[in-house]
Amino acid sequence: MLRLRKRKHHYLVAGVMLCTMPVTLTNAAETGDVSAGSAHPAEPKHVRPPAGNKQPKLSQKQGATSASTPTAKGGTERITVTGNSHSYIVSQVSAIKIKANLRDIPQTIDVVPLRVMQDQNARSLADVLRNIAGIGYQTGDGQRDQETIRGFVNQGDFYIDGFRDDAQYFRDLSNYERVEVIKGPASVLYGRGSSGGLVNMITKKPGTEGGSVDFSYGSFNDVRGSGDFGHVFQNNNIAFRVTGAIESSDSYRAQQFIDRKTISPSLQWTTPDRRTSVLLQGSYLYDRRLADNGIPSWNGLPADVPRSAYYGAANARDADWAESQVWNTTVTIKHDFGNGIELSNAFRDYNFWLQRYGTIVQTEYTNPSSPHYGTYNPDHQDTHRDEHGWSNQLQLTVDARTGPFKHRFLVGIEISEQYKYQRRADHVFSDTYISIFNPVLPTYTAADANLSPGDLYTNTTGYFGTVGPFMQDMISLGSHWKALLGLRWDYFRQTTRPEAYPVQPTLARTDTSFSPRAGIVWQPTNTQSYYFSWTRSFQPAGESFDLAASNAALQPQETDNKEFGAKYNFFKNRLQMTLSLFDLRRSNINIPVIDGDTGHTVLKQVGLQRNRGLEWSARLNITDDWQAIASYAYYDTRYLKAGNTTSYGYAVEGKRLVTVPKNSMSFWITKSFVHARYGVGWGVRYMGSQWADAGNSVRIPSYLVFNTMAWATFNRFRAQINVDNLSNEKYIASAHGTSPYLLMPGAPLSASFNLVASF
């Protein structure tokens, strides 16, 4: 039941004012895309020819990857696709909300395409992101995706086709075409948050003909079926597509299970002249699983216990589960006026529901003199969330000239509202002591999470409203130089009505902030790009639904990123490489300091965190037989100013950031034989040692994991076998990020078999 008490908030948007200048509109068909550079994008493929011709069938596995927006030309042009699902190479991305080549963007953007996900049999967003070095992994309370990007948590920085998707759940991959990771602040186009970067998931669109069915069975009784079906109707103006999946699995973790179902239909209508299109998309996801938080630590390291050891309830499938449901609806309308002028409006509405019961390790007794040495106190929790929100994005793109310079102007505005209700009850069993190394687990019921009003930890209703006009200009300064300038202004209003015991007054806060970007690109040849950029983002207090009396008066944190980089496209764009050096600093952090006049400890916003690093990534498609994706990252992170801040009794200042390895790398390569009828793949991932908590009291050791795969195709079938963790490495895959006691072991040696039928 949705318990949101909505209040009407009216916004008066006076408009977006642009300084006038003499400009000449240019025809995109004559001058080309200002962002096109000299890359070699894949040739569009027609999925339906003119009436009377023989109709080829193009399935997801055999060519098409995503439908493009209609062109302005009309005539014999048809709904087309802009990529090839066989390739690891991606030339164009949507990260800056216009069509742009990677080599023209002065920012690091890593892309994992569909083919990589399929070859690796990726099941989760974390599986996908493991192809990108520098990403850290957190447990997300056993209920949601949660990583760190360039050292900073991205809990609220997930996007679907450019729309914020900050609901707390595990995302399914069945409807994603590719995953883009934007490194560094991105508030200039996306609004609040994104200190270290963001994850933007691009969905599959109508425009493909035929489809595929995928059945998979793997270790630990992991069963999954998925499908992808598309059809373009005879008049070429209407296209339909639906994707979906059903999954049921046990786990190497005791009592762990997953029960998941999802479906995502989409429909696109295009006018006969191809100037106007309407895209309708829907999505529903049901997910139920064990709310698993892993194993405890001991003496500064993960406890030496089996990777299957569970520390929740003995009846975990009844007492420690998380169930979520997500509904999304999106309507996108686009119109091409010709002469390089395009207008689009996209509206998204979502609902999210969560019920979670979980048991965690609350307190460890590590003092040998304690009578409870070697034990822990359990905490049984009950968390309920109800959310509803909507967002509208209106934007205008104009190709123009000012003298010798070519411009691609982008002007837009985002307006959104979110209503969130959360109830959380905790009951710490402080008189219960369970052995860490020989646990006898208790049995709990739902009522055990909230035995009295005093146990109620959170009961709040929140409102979040945003108005964010933005503008951007990608400028071609002759044949060797490009510039990217942008600015966004945000009005962010939030209120929180606490209803916990005892009842507290309503809290409210309004923040306004400018988010600028400036970047320059030098391209001495068609294969090289060198760039410098500066970006800034803002992070309001409480924006992740934690506004409280302690932070309601705080100003937003700010993150500045300075970055030098180089991008290379060799062998006719069959080898793409990016190298970047950056200095990222998040300031205005609230920390306790000693007042020089009174000697008392006070809170001041003078905290500072820093990450200096180097990143390298590459995608290879030298021949149709060899493909590879690789990355490496070196991060030097520090809490530069933290005052008297402590974490579990340990000082924070001077320590490294949480779940951020100094060195990390990933490499994956495939080789096909006999005209791609057979093939093999092999990969390796390395994660350097990390810290599980801000006080750096628990160290997560480094690890090295090897994976492999093989496939064979016959007629319209493809059989594939994946084997992961070949050496059966025992390692910690993720940590809680706050508590040093919650560490998730990685999966042991495991295998899966996939059979895909295309039609």
Q: What is the pLDDT confidence band of residue 623, given thresholds at 50, 70 and 90?
A: confident
> CA-to-CA distance for 546 and 515, rounded, in angstroms?
23
Percent of the chain with pLDDT over 90: 73
User: Beta-strand (E) ranges in 233-374?
Assistant: 238-249, 258-270, 276-290, 297-298, 301-302, 321-338, 341-364
Report how far Cα 546 is from the mean position of its chain's Cα atoms: 21
- Please check whether residue 493 is in contact with residue 510, taking contact to mean a CB–CB distance below 8 angstroms: yes
> CA-to-CA distance for 479 and 491, rounded, in angstroms?
39
> CA-to-CA distance for 419 and 351, rounded, in angstroms?
10
Whether 39 has a pLDDT exceeding 80, the answer reads no
For 308-328, the pLDDT digits (tens) are 999 999 999 999 999 999 999
Q: What's the pTM value of the predicted model, to 2 decimals?
A: 0.88
> CA-to-CA distance for 695 and 644, rounded, in angstroms?
12
Whether 52 has a pLDDT exceeding 60, the answer reads no
Whether 724 has a pLDDT exceeding 70, the answer reads yes
> CA-to-CA distance for 256 and 328, rounded, in angstroms?
28
Q: In this structure, what token pair is assigned to residue 366?
A: 């590590």
Q: How far is CA 301 from CA 98, 354, 360, 742, in A?
A: 47, 33, 18, 11
- Please check whether residue 186 is in contact with residue 472, taking contact to mean a CB–CB distance below 8 angstroms: no
For 398-427, the pLDDT digits (tens) are 999 999 999 999 999 999 999 999 988 888
Helices and strands counted in the chain (H then E): 5, 44
Whether 599 has a pLDDT exceeding 90, the answer reads no
For 107-160, the pLDDT digits (tens) are 999 999 999 999 999 999 999 999 999 999 999 999 999 999 999 999 899 999
Q: What is the pLDDT confidence band of residue 643, given thresholds at 50, 70 and 90?
A: confident
What does the angle CA 266 – CA 158 – CA 33 come to, to the nearest 5 degrees?
A: 65
* SS3 at position 219: coil
- Please check whether residue 186 is in contact with residue 515, taking contact to mean a CB–CB distance below 8 angstroms: no
Which of 71-80, 357-366, 548-557 holds the top average pLDDT?
A: 357-366
* SS3 at position 352: strand
- Please check whether residue 132 is in contact with residue 149, taking contact to mean a CB–CB distance below 8 angstroms: no
Give which of 479, 466, 410, 468 is closest to 96, Cα–Cα: 410
> CA-to-CA distance for 76 and 715, rounded, in angstroms?
32
Q: What is the pLDDT confidence band of residue 30, given thresholds at 50, 70 and 90?
A: very low
- Please check whether residue 13 is in contact with residue 415, taking contact to mean a CB–CB distance below 8 angstroms: yes
Instruction: Please list, in sequence order, all residues whose beta carbon lies within 8 angstroms of the beta carbon of residue 503, skipping any fewer than 6 positions away.
Output: none
For the ranges 56-60, 269-273, 332-336, the lowest mean pLDDT is seen at 56-60
Whether 62 has a pLDDT exceeding 60, the answer reads no
Residue 82, pLDDT score: 37
Topology given in CATH for the domain delimited by 24-364+381-758? Maltoporin; Chain A (2.40.170)
Helix residue ranges per DSSP H, 226-294:
none
For 237-291, the pLDDT digits (tens) are 999 999 999 999 999 999 999 999 999 999 999 999 999 999 999 999 999 999 9
Q: What is the pLDDT confidence band of residue 612, given thresholds at 50, 70 and 90?
A: very high
> CA-to-CA distance for 387 and 614, rounded, in angstroms?
39
- Please check whether residue 488 is in contact with residue 411, taking contact to mean a CB–CB distance below 8 angstroms: no
Residue 206, pLDDT score: 97
Q: In this structure, what token pair is assigned to residue 740?
A: 């040093």
Give which of 444, 436, 461, 435 is closest to 382, Cα–Cα: 444
Higher pLDDT among residues 662 and 46, named by residue? 662
Q: How far is CA 215 from CA 171, 227, 696, in A?
A: 19, 9, 44
Residue 592, pLDDT score: 76
Whether 36 has a pLDDT exceeding 90, the answer reads no
For 371-392, the pLDDT digits (tens) are 999 999 999 888 999 999 999 9
> CA-to-CA distance for 10 and 7, rounded, in angstroms?
10
- Please check whether residue 601 is in contact with residue 590, taking contact to mean a CB–CB distance below 8 angstroms: no
Mean pLDDT of 608-619: 97
Whether 505 has a pLDDT exceeding 90, the answer reads no
Q: How far is CA 326 from CA 234, 260, 521, 642, in A?
A: 34, 12, 41, 38
Instruction: Work out the number of other CB atoms within 10 angstroms of the CB of residue 69.
Output: 20
What is the chain's mean pLDDT, rounded?
87
Whether 567 has a pLDDT exceeding 90, the answer reads yes
Residue 410: its H or E element: strand 405-428
Whether 11 has a pLDDT exceeding 90, the answer reads no
Query: In the chain, how long is the greatest CA-to-CA distance?
Result: 88
Higher pLDDT among residues 41 and 743, named by residue? 743
Residue 130, pLDDT score: 97
* SS3 at position 492: strand
Residue 425, pLDDT score: 85
Mean pLDDT of 535-559: 85
Whether 735 has a pLDDT exceeding 70, the answer reads yes
Percent of the chain with pLDDT over 70: 87
The answer to whether the bond into 502 is cis (omega within 30° of 0) is yes
Give which of 516, 532, 487, 472 is closest to 97, Cα–Cα: 472
Mean pLDDT of 350-368: 94
Higher pLDDT among residues 99 and 111, named by residue? 111
Q: What are phi and psi of 61, to 5 degrees?
A: -80, -15
Residue 600, pLDDT score: 74
Whether 71 has a pLDDT exceeding 80, the answer reads no
- Please check whether residue 269 is in contact with residue 335, taking contact to mean a CB–CB distance below 8 angstroms: no
Matching residue, tokens 């408009």: 15
For the ranges 415-429, 451-465, 505-519, the lowest mean pLDDT is seen at 451-465
Q: In this structure, what token pair is assigned to residue 261?
A: 């179902």
The residues with which 636 forms a beta bridge, in sequence order, are: 612
Q: In this structure, what token pair is assigned to residue 645?
A: 């801040």
- Please check whether residue 519 is in contact with residue 106, taking contact to mean a CB–CB distance below 8 angstroms: yes
